Amino acid sequence: MKHEEANKEIGGKGAKRQRGKRVGGNSKIQNVQSPAPNPQPVVPSRQSPAPNLDNWLEIGTIVSPQGLSGELKVYPVSDFPERFEVPGKRWLLRSGDTEPQPIELLTGRYISNKNLYVIRLAGVENCDQAEALRGCKLMVPASDRPQLGEDEYHVLDLIGLEVFMQASGELVGTVVDIIPAGNDLLEVKFHESFATDKKQKTVLIPFVEAIAPVVDLKSNRIEITPPPGLLEINN
């Protein structure tokens, strides 16, 4: 992640913290199937005006073909399985291009032991066509930002929050990234007054209830209760 925090939905399927604490990404697809797919050209038009990519979210990367019939393996960077399982319009961004092109998602399924989705896109019907999409990004508009439940957070809500020791009130540092894992990790850049080892610039803190019991977006702060040694783990 990253990267481009503003342009990705972070986390894989089932990436939930203890007691439901969850980084939910930036938007969620509507559970509505689009009209019958009309295959779109795979090659994007280079005549289109370049958009502001801040208005788009990356939901995954096509990593390889799956079999010989045009299916694709996708590595997700979204907490929302609907992105890959609910048929409808998505957008495809090729390496080197700045204009995502619409493409129709036909089917998708999750492979849990590999943290991958296998999807089928309209107009991609054989292994050669699938191979040509290796490395392409799947995108969605950033305009459909969902309402999240209690103890669920958008990535952009967490980036930039200050992190404090709950017991002492001491400023630890600032959240600079969210790393997707079994339990997502806050990447925190140490405040100069806190770091005891000046060579250690950041630390990874599990985003779980026991370690980050307080997330106060209005006050721009996270309070942590790290076990002994956690803040020195990256030394």
Mean pLDDT by 10 residues, the chain (235 residues): 43 35 38 35 47 76 95 90 94 88 96 92 96 94 73 83 96 91 87 77 92 94 94 67
Please report the pLDDT score of residue 56 as a whole number. Answer: 86
φ/ψ of 233, rounded to 5, equals -65, -25
**Distance between CA atoms of 149 and 225, rounded to whole angstroms?**
23
Rounded (5°) CA angle 195-199-202: 60
